[in-house]
């Protein structure tokens, strides 16, 4: 299992180090590729975030005309698509790309060129999505879920949906190639002595996530291909008029998209498991339990897709099965939460920005977890399905969960990756804006949904006005917070004080390998491969 | 400003907001007013779920808060070193698991209750179009669209839901009824409204540009008034 001899040597890069733009264009270095993923992710985060602010502005009061209905539907669809496929998944792949090889004591990913391909595939994918907005008929407007027949040619004739499908195809291919690379890397390239139970929790989380991608993403690719041939070549997989079944799309789509929730949240949980011990100066509690529960979530996650379809008229006994399976997921999730609390209990806590985000993550994710259990209960799910309650739930999981974790990890690894320190005061201010803005925006959505306000509507009945005022106000608070974040990061990249190898002063038990090398780490990471005792 | 005073301020602010909300009345309502037996059952199930999961939720939030306030790094106070406790780990796996088994019981009975369509007094066919609803009363030969659905109070109404074009969803929150209208199949649901009045709902599945305008209005009248209305409709048609 020792990987030293397999570590790819980038001899050509050594012979003539590239500079300027070609350093980035032709690189196969996992660190540079990782950084490019992060930049790309934040570009789409900014665009998707601006879209969200426009949507919230349209919804500030009932009956506004900020956006036309067709524009509203396009921006709403692209907001979801960008945040999921072009921000969360790539940025997690980027941080994994940068950190995982170093944490396992490798010099690079197993297949550096494939790694570069994975990243570069996202550029044409993103361009397709963005360009579709400016073509006739505009971008895909059927939500990120694009249910047929609405997404069929008859009801969405323009090129928007075709570009959406092809863009997701490329993004999916990028994910699948990346997944193969991560799985092989973690399996084969670990430093001598790093047995299974010594793999850092973040690497475990990434490894399990990439296994999920490997099994789930091809199913999405298949479904997308079927939709494409329905649109282009006259097949009728999802067309009821010719004997097809639109509900089949929903099965295939959610077979991918429920596991996709874990693809987006498990790496973040890995980061939390890394950050909490560091800033509590205490070893991670229940490491093996955390690994097993992560794997458990990965497996059970494939058995619950039907909870997105409780109101489609699927078989009653199936509904009960999906309901039970969805409830079961709460158990391994609970194990994680209790273990994190036990980790910081009795520690010496330093409330720096990464720690604020990690603690904020627990506080918010618990809410998303509780509403997740309620949504598993079929009768209640039917009541609030496709309402703002679900919007609230998914944002507590993906914003309160994934995004808070991404910020925790980003602030934590910023000095390592950039070689500079960020501004701590601004970082903490960013946290408070995010935490307060997040709750102002999404907490009221629970009530709107229970009261019956459907999601994806461009305007609404007057009875929902008061909660919507609050949500829109909250979204502006979030917008200001994100500005603080971008200012902090850009300013610090340029002017921040230099970082030492270990600016966080890790205790021995929490110090993973990336903190033993310089900030940023040298080319090929390690002069001699570390040996894990 | 220390973290503790910040938290205290937040607490006070939250309390003030809560008081304001209660005083503000229906504009800040947080649960709907159920008017069918199913909607009542759903609310009861929701309260059971709230009670069973609420304890874990509060425990987790309080522990996080206490840990952050109590275990701050202080010079001369070394951090604890424990990092596993098998008994504790078994406990926090088993107790939530048992709770979920308990919760599965009422979920199953409520599910059974809502999905078994009882012998109905009236059948209506609900058909979604881009972007309006068509209603049919097959027992009376009445068909219309773009008008409120009219049903008698206290009678069991069976609704057969389908669509002519894309997927829609017939959703009236106060009834606890949401059923997807799929083209090419018919889904069955039912409701029995306990009191007269006008109830509003809206299409719940994204169905194109004017999805947001696809409103539903159900007028619930006394059985006598319903008989008069349906006769009038028949003559009109
Ligand atoms: Cu799901
Ligand atoms: Cu609709």
DSSP letter for each residue of B117-150: -PPPSEEEEEEEETTEEEEEETTTTEEEESS-EE
Quick one: tokens of B190?
Answer: 């039912």
Q: Could you tell me how far CA A198 lies from the centroid of its own chain? A: 25
Task: Specify the pTM.
Answer: 0.93
Q: In which residue are the tokens 């409330």 written?
A: A351
- Quote the DSSP letter at residue B100: H
Answer whether B184's CB lies under 8 Å from A245's CB.
yes
Report chain A residues whose CB lies below 8 A from the CB of B103.
327, 373, 377
Q: Could you tell me how far CA A89 lies from the centroid of its own chain? A: 4
Q: Work out the burial of residue A465: count CB atoms within 10 Å of its CB; fewer than 13 is exposed, 13-18 middle, 19 or more buried.
A: middle
Report chain B residues whose CB lies below 8 A from the CB of A344.
64, 67-68, 71
| pLDDT, tens digit (0-9, with 9 covering 90-100), for A45-56 | 999 999 999 999
Q: Which residues pair with B128 in a beta bridge?
A: B133, B163
Q: What is the pLDDT of residue B206?
A: 97
Report chain B residues whose CB lies below 8 A from the CB of A341.
60, 63-64, 67
Q: Is a pLDDT exceeding 70 seen at residue B18?
A: no
Q: What is the pLDDT of residue A317?
A: 85
Residue B47, chain A, CB below 8 Å: the answer is no
- Quote the DSSP letter at residue A4: G
Partner-chain residue, chosen from B71, B179, B204, that has the shortest CB–CB distance to A346: B71
Partner-chain residue, chosen from A150, A339, A347, that has the shortest CB–CB distance to B71: A347
Q: What is the pLDDT of residue A31?
A: 97
Partner-chain residue, chosen from B85, B93, B183, that has the shortest CB–CB distance to A246: B183
Answer whether A446's CB lies under 8 Å from A371's CB.
yes
Q: In which residue are the tokens 């996202």 written?
A: A122
DSSP letter for each residue of A424-442: HHHHHHHHHHHHHHHHHHH
Going by pLDDT thresholds of 50, 70 and 90, the confidence category of residue B22 is low
Q: From CA A517, how far away is CA B190, in angstroms rounded?
A: 66
| pLDDT, tens digit (0-9, with 9 covering 90-100), for B154-198 | 999 999 999 999 999 999 999 999 999 999 999 999 999 999 999
* Rg of chain B over all Cα atoms, to the nearest angstrom: 26
Q: Work out the burial of residue A152: count CB atoms within 10 Å of its CB; fewer than 13 is exposed, 13-18 middle, 19 or more buried.
A: buried
Nearest to A485 by CA among A182, A52, A49, A17: A49
Q: Are strands B215-221 and B177-181 parallel, antiparallel or unpaired?
A: unpaired
Name, in order, each residue with C-beta under 8 angstroms of B182's C-beta and a sequence gap of 6 or more: A240, A246, A247, A312, A313, B162, B163, B167
Contacts with B, A 242-261, CB within 8 Å = 245-247
Q: Are strands B132-137 and B122-129 parallel, antiparallel or unpaired?
A: antiparallel
List, as ranges, residues with CB under 5 A of the ion ligand 2. Answer: B 168, 203, 207, 211, 214
Residue B206, chain A, CB below 8 Å: the answer is yes
Q: From CA B124, how far away is CA B190, in angstroms rounded?
A: 10
Quick one: tokens of B56?
Answer: 């874990």
B10: closest chain A residue by CA: A436
- Quote the DSSP letter at residue A401: I
Alpha-helical runs (H) found in chain B:
3-24, 37-70, 86-115, 223-236
A250: closest chain B residue by CA: B167
Name, in order, each residue with C-beta under 8 angstroms of B236's C-beta and a sequence gap of 6 or more: none
Q: What is the pLDDT of residue A105?
A: 96
List, for chain A, all residue ranges whose pLDDT scores fall below the cut of 50.
1-14
CB neighbours of residue A491 within 10 Å: 14
Q: From CA A257, how far away is CA A146, in angstroms rounded?
A: 12
Answer whether B131's CB lies under 8 Å from B211's CB.
yes
Q: What is the pLDDT of residue A2?
A: 39
Q: Is a pLDDT exceeding 60 seen at residue B5?
A: no
Residue A103's SS3 state is helix
Give me the half-sphere count of Cα atoms (radius 13 Å) on the Cβ side of residue A169: 14
Q: In which residue are the tokens 């994680």 written?
A: A336
Answer whether A212's CB lies under 8 Å from A25's CB.
no
**Alpha carbon of A27: minimum distance to chain B alpha carbons (Å):** 41
Dihedrals phi, psi of B222, to nearest 5 degrees: -65, 155
CB neighbours of residue B30 within 10 Å: 12
Q: What is the pLDDT of residue B12?
A: 65
Residue B4, chain A, CB below 8 Å: the answer is no
Residue B172's SS3 state is strand
Q: In which residue are the tokens 């590729």 written?
A: A33
DSSP letter for each residue of A277-289: HHHHTSPPTTHHH
Computed over every residue of chain B, the mean pLDDT equals: 91
Quick one: tokens of A471?
Answer: 């949500």
Q: Is a pLDDT exceeding 50 seen at residue B8?
A: yes
A363: closest chain B residue by CA: B61
Answer whether A387's CB lies under 8 Å from A314's CB.
no
**Sign (positive/negative) of CA torsion A447, A451, A454, A458?**
negative
Contact A454 B203 (CB under 8 A): yes
Q: Work out the burial of residue B15: count CB atoms within 10 Å of its CB; fewer than 13 is exposed, 13-18 middle, 19 or more buried.
A: exposed
- Ligand positioned closest to the Cα atom of A326: 1
| pLDDT, tens digit (0-9, with 9 covering 90-100), for A472-508 | 999 999 999 999 999 999 999 999 999 999 999 999 9
Q: Are strands B177-181 and B168-172 parallel, antiparallel or unpaired?
A: antiparallel
Contacts with B, A 70-89, CB within 8 Å = 70, 72-73
Q: What is the pLDDT of residue A94?
A: 97
Answer whether A76's CB lies under 8 Å from B212's CB.
no
Region of residue A525 (phi > 0: left; psi between -120 and 50: alpha; otherwise: beta): left
Q: In which residue are the tokens 């794997």 written?
A: A295
Q: Which residues pair with A454 in a beta bridge?
A: A387
Q: From CA A140, how far away is CA A146, in angstroms rounded?
A: 8
Q: Are strands B149-152 and B215-221 parallel, antiparallel or unpaired?
A: parallel
Task: Determine the length of chain B.
Answer: 237
Q: Which residues pair with A4 in a beta bridge?
A: none
Contact B29 A327 (CB under 8 A): no
Q: From CA A248, how far away is CA A251, in angstroms rounded?
A: 5
């Amino acid at each position: 299992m020792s990987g030293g001899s397999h570590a790819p040597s980038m001899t050509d890069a050594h012979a003539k180090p590239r500079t300027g733009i070609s350093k980035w264009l032709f690189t196969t270095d996992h660190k540079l590729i990782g950084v490019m993923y992060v930049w790309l992710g934040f570009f789409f985060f900014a665009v998707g975030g601006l879209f969200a602010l426009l949507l919230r502005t349209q919804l500030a009061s009932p009956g506004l005309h900020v956006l036309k209905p067709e524009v509203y539907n396009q921006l709403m669809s692209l907001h979801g698509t960008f945040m999921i496929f072009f921000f969360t998944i790539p940025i997690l792949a980027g941080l994994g790309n940068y950190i995982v090889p170093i944490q396992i004591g490798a010099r690079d990913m197993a297949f550096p060129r494939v790694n570069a391909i994975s990243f570069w595939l996202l550029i044409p994918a993103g361009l397709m999505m963005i360009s579709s907005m400016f073509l006739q008929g505009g971008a895909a407007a059927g939500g990120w879920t694009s249910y047929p027949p609405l997404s069929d040619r008859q009801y969405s004739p323009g090129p928007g949906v075709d570009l959406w499908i092809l863009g997701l195809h490329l993004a999916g291919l990028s994910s699948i190639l990346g997944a193969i690379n991560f799985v092989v890397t973690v399996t084969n390239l670990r430093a001598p002595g790093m047995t299974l139970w010594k793999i850092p929790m973040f690497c475990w989380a990434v490894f399990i996530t990439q296994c999920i991608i490997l099994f789930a993403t091809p199913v999405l690719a298949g479904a997308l291909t079927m939709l494409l041939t329905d649109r282009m070549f006259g097949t009728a997989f999802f067309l009821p008029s010719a004997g097809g079944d639109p509900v089949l799309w929903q099965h295939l789509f959610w077979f991918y998209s429920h596991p996709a929730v874990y693809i987006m949240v498990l790496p973040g949980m890995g980061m939390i498991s890394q950050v909490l011990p560091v800033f509590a100066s205490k070893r991670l509690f229940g490491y093996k339990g955390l690994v097993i529960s992560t794997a458990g979530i990965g497996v059970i996650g494939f058995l619950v897709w039907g909870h997105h379809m409780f109101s489609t008229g699927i078989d009653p006994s199936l509904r009960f099965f999906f309901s039970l399976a969805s409830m079961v997921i709460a158990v391994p999730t609970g194990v994680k939460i209790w273990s994190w609390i036990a980790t910081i209990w009795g520690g010496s806590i330093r409330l720096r920005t990464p720690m604020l985000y990690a603690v904020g993550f627990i506080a918010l994710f618990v809410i998303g977890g509780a509403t997740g259990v309620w949504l598993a209960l079929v009768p209640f799910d039917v009541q609030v399905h496709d309402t703002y309650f679900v919007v609230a739930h998914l944002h507590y999981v993906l914003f309160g969960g994934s995004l808070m974790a991404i910020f925790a990890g980003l602030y934590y690894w910023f000095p390592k990756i950039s070689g500079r320190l960020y501004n701590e005061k601004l970082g903490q201010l960013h946290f408070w804006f995010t935490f307060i803005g997040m709750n102002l925006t999404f907490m009221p959505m629970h009530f709107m949904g229970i009261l019956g306000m459907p999601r994806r509507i461009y305007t609404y009945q007057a009875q929902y006005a008061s909660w919507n005022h609050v949500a829109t106000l909250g979204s502006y608070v979030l917008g200001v917070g994100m500005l603080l974040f971008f200012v902090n990061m850009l300013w610090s990249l340029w002017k921040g004080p230099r970082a030492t190898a270990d600016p966080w002063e890790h205790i021995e038990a929490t110090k993973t390998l990336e903190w033993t090398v310089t900030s940023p780490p040298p080319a090929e990471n390690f002069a001699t491969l570390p040996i894990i005792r | 400003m220390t973290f503790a005073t910040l938290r205290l301020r937040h607490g006070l602010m939250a309390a003030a907001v809560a008081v304001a909300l209660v005083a503000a009345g229906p504009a800040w309502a947080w649960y709907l007013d159920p008017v069918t037996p199913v909607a009542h059952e759903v609310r009861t199930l929701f309260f059971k779920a709230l009670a069973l999961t609420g304890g874990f939720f509060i425990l987790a939030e309080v522990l996080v808060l206490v840990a952050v306030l109590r275990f701050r790094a202080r010079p001369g106070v070394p951090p604890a070193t424990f990092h596993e406790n098998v008994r504790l780990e078994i406990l926090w796996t088993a107790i939530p698991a048992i709770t979920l088994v308990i919760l599965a019981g009422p979920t199953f009975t409520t599910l059974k209750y809502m999905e078994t369509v009882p012998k109905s007094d009236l059948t209506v066919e609900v058909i979604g179009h881009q972007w309006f609803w068509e209603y049919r009363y097959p027992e009376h030969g009445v068909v219309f669209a773009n008008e409120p659905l009219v049903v008698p109070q206290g009678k069991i109404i069976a609704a057969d839901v389908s669509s002519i074009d894309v997927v829609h969803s017939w959703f009236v929150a106060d009834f606890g009824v949401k059923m997807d209208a799929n083209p090419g199949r018919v889904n069955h649901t039912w409701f029995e409204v306990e009191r007269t009045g006008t109830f509003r709902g809206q299409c719940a599945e994204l169905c194109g540009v004017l999805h947001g305008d696809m409103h539903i209005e159900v007028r619930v009248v006394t059985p006598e008034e319903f008989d008069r209305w349906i006769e009038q409709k028949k003559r009109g048609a």
